[in-house]
Structure 1
Amino acid sequence: MSAPAAPSAPDILSAEFADDPYSAYRIMREEHPLIWHEATQSYVISRYADVERAFKDPVFTSRNYDWQLEPVHGRTILQMDGREHSTHRNLVAPAFRGRELAERFVPVIRRNSAELVAAFAGDGEVELVGQYATRFPINVIVDMLGLPKSDHEHFHRWYTSIMGFLSNLSGDEQVAADGIRTRDEFAEYLIPIIAARRADPGDDLLSVLCTAEIDGHRMTDHEIKAFCSLLLTAGGETTDKAIASLMSNLVAHPDQLAAVRADRSLIPAAFAEALRLTPPVHMIMRQPSEDVELSGGVIEAGRTVTCLIGAANRDPGRFARPDEFDLHRDDLDQGRAYTAGANHTSFCLGRHFCVGALLARTELETGIADLLDAMEDIAFADGVPPPEHGVFTRAPSELRLTFTPTGGTR
């Protein structure tokens, strides 16, 4: 009797993949660790060791962002390498870490979360994505930049359009055109404001970016605009989806929800585990500067590599019980979960590690605590966890919850 045929390589643009990428990831890791995907003109990798190397090894560059990001954002720190990258990262990073973040922006985060939670805290039910998750990070970014909250709907539309452009793996021409139009609208809106902040800076993040200087170098107006565009999408979309996924995971595991309710210092651990199990971004691209050998074969210099974060984070060669949510797991390094040395791959790793990781952690710590303060006996309105949606980014598109109001927030 002949051996059964190995499963065929999954197609990341198929409907079956969109419905259940996790089963596809298992097949990829076990049978097809290196796939040439004709439609996206990229190699697809799925094993933890390969994705980790693609993020850390300098042979893997971010030159793919020249065509992937620049048309819609302009040139950002993600496209830079070497001294240029170090200089620009050092110009923006201080605002997103340590004392600067705590003193300048934590009050902004707390205020925006409290306002949104108060709007539904007495209702006993909430659609958490639409009423909280999609609004909270955008409100925070707009507030941090010192821009009018009345422009929220513009920002929400812009970041939705830009994320559509970035996740347009099938090459839809209308989606691409919408992204380019958004780029122009955003520049027309923000460039005059940048000029005004240079002339009369305040204590907001946009003023910080306008006045930051290292060795006589300052960011240009268009570099600041590009960074704000990147912040809008990277900080909005990912935090939005992280909130929905974390709350869905906690409600689906009442014992772990109870543990977090009793000890709020567990929120970062729960967030890190949700990032591992159900990451907001499932794939990131890289481009090697020379031929490189990974599991399954050789990738030629200059080819695009699609790194499957969602697959790497569930690799049984790296994590025990990889398909289970467990905030107490001992193989996820909590001490480094929000640093470039993290052992989940959801913030990338190495030199292009997400500059906003601590901002995201601070938003999640604040937001989840506020939600738990306002809501007891939280349950899924339909009795079951909602399905996830998306391929490039992924999370529940709706999260309908019932709860007993507590009568207030912190």
Structure 2
Amino acid sequence: MTAAGHAPDLLSPEFAADPYTAYDAMLEHSPVTWHEGMQSYVISRYEDVSRAFKEGVFTTENYGWQLEPVHGRTILQMSGREHATRRALVAPAFRGSELEHKFRPVIERNSAQLIDTFRGRGSADLVTDYARHFPINVIVDMLGLDRSDHARFQRWYIAIIAFLGNLSQDAEVTAAGLRTHDELAAYMIPIIRERRENPGDDLLSTLCATEVDGTTMSDEDIKAFCSLLLAAGGETTDKAIASLFRNLLANPEQLAAVRADRGLIPKAFAETLRHTPPVHMIMRQPAEDIEIGGQRIPAGSTVTCLIGAANRDPRRFANPGAFDIFRTDLPAETAFSAAASHLSFALGRHFCVGALLAKTEIEVGVNQLLDAMPDLRLAEGAETAEQGVFTRGPASLPVVFTPA
């Protein structure tokens, strides 16, 4: 195994403060290493992480202990025909006319309502006033749930994300996640049963009614998918919006370009996903002994795929530490499909089913925020440091502007 002296400790305060310097060291000196505290092999190079996402030998059996206690059994754990069928059941709601005509208005309304709370104020924290609430509110409304429960879902979302990122196995975080599993089930199952009897024009009704090759989703299946949607759909968009604006504010000429040409928003989103991804690591479990980077990894081991490192691999991206929406090695045309060059939505059969939903939310949100804040700039003395290890983004992004 690669010398441990070159392998930064992913659970250390130093890594949490600046993972990017550690990623550089790992990419150069220890692309495959064993982490004792996490009981996991850690891989960092683009070629290796890409392979782990695409090759069938790398299973998602790890989600049995990682996700199932808080979500229930979800599509992420499935493989083969079961996975293909379940994906066919849920995917249509997140693309094409269903997304554009039914859910874009929901996205536009929720974004505008949040912006209305600060558009006349001349100041805002784009994390606490907007990004943290926007995708969760959208999901609640897409599902056709009571809008007065936005705050409740916000609390559940925070508990689920903390559980998923609990790499040090903090007992209180674990307990809060397990409570959320029970609370969400108690809330959702009666609504799912009622929606089967009295369907509406919402995502939850669609999930109740959808059938593929004689297969439908059980109440528990739907509840688990809603829980997964809350976490995966919320965290990606929440942190991506905040990181996108943080990156643009740090590069004023690129901010000016996006303001002048809103067609550049997908490029800015794609580059944010590469440069400062919302999710920095995803785990896989090989079904048989494999070799990665010249190292043997036994069957059944946990393999931690460092997306945050792979997206900055100089073997794949030119000047990878720079944020550049005009880079030519990250085409926006494929950035939200299974042919993406970045790895932030994974690849292969488990490519993120909600990628186009996230793209739509970003396009709507960034457009509306730029319209509301014509001379957007960081507040004087603003602290915009990133936080998080498993998922990562700015904890705060205070800005000031002249009300439009």
TM > 0.5 fold call? yes
Structure 1 residue 251: Cα displacement: 1.1
Q: What residue identity is the alignment partner of 1:63?
A: E
Structure 1 residue 6: Cα displacement: 9.4
Tell me the equivalent position of 2:166: 168
Deviations 1:322-355 (A, max 9, x none): 0011101000022210001111000000100000
Kept in 2, the 8 Å contact 1:309–1:345? The answer is yes
Deviations 1:39-58 (A, max 9, x none): 11110000000000000011
1:50 to 44, 48, 56: 48
Tell me the equivalent position of 1:208: 206
* Cα distance between partner residues in 2 of 1:313 and 1:282: 10
Aligned residue pairs, count: 402
CA RMSD of aligned residues (A): 1.1
Kept in 2, the 8 Å contact 1:124–1:404? The answer is yes
* Cα distance between partner residues in 2 of 1:31 and 1:215: 50
* Cα distance between partner residues in 2 of 1:294 and 1:377: 49
Deviations 1:59-93 (A, max 9, x none): 10100001101111000000000000000000000
The runs of 5 or more residues in structure 1 that have no matched partner are: none
Query: In structure 1, the residue corresponding to 2:6 is in which secondary structure?
Result: coil
* Cα distance between partner residues in 2 of 1:171 and 1:287: 19
Structure 1 residue 9: Cα displacement: 1.3
Query: In structure 2, the residue corresponding to 1:180 is in which secondary structure?
Result: helix
TM-score by length of 2: 0.98
1:342 to 325, 340, 343: 340
Tell me the equivalent position of 2:225: 227
Do residues 17 (structure 1) and 31 (structure 2) align?
Answer: no
* Residues 255-404 of structure 1: pairs in structure 2 closer than 5 A: 255-382=253-380, 386-404=384-402
2:85 to 68, 72, 87: 87
* Cα distance between partner residues in 2 of 1:298 and 1:344: 26
Deviations 1:273-307 (A, max 9, x none): 00000000000000011111111411111100000
Kept in 2, the 8 Å contact 1:6–1:31? The answer is no
Q: What residue identity is the alignment partner of 1:223?
A: D
* Cα distance between partner residues in 2 of 1:154 and 1:119: 20
Do residues 132 (structure 1) and 101 (structure 2) align?
Answer: no
Kept in 1, the 8 Å contact 2:9–2:35? The answer is yes
Q: What residue identity is the alignment partner of 1:134?
A: R
* Cα distance between partner residues in 1 of 2:382 and 2:134: 25
1:73 to 71, 74, 79: 71
Kept in 1, the 8 Å contact 2:383–2:396? The answer is no
- Residues 319, 190 of structure 1: alpha-carbon distance in 2 compared, 3 angstrom cutoff: same
* Cα distance between partner residues in 1 of 2:54 and 2:143: 31
The runs of 5 or more residues in structure 2 that have no matched partner are: none
Query: In structure 2, the residue corresponding to 1:286 is in which secondary structure?
Result: strand
Structure 1 residue 8: Cα displacement: 2.9
- Residues 153, 6 of structure 1: alpha-carbon distance in 2 compared, 3 angstrom cutoff: closer
Q: What residue identity is the alignment partner of 2:222?
A: I
Kept in 1, the 8 Å contact 2:6–2:26? The answer is no
Kept in 1, the 8 Å contact 2:285–2:301? The answer is yes
Kept in 2, the 8 Å contact 1:106–1:362? The answer is yes
Kept in 1, the 8 Å contact 2:94–2:354? The answer is yes
Tell me the equivalent position of 1:111: 109
Tell me the equivalent position of 1:152: 150
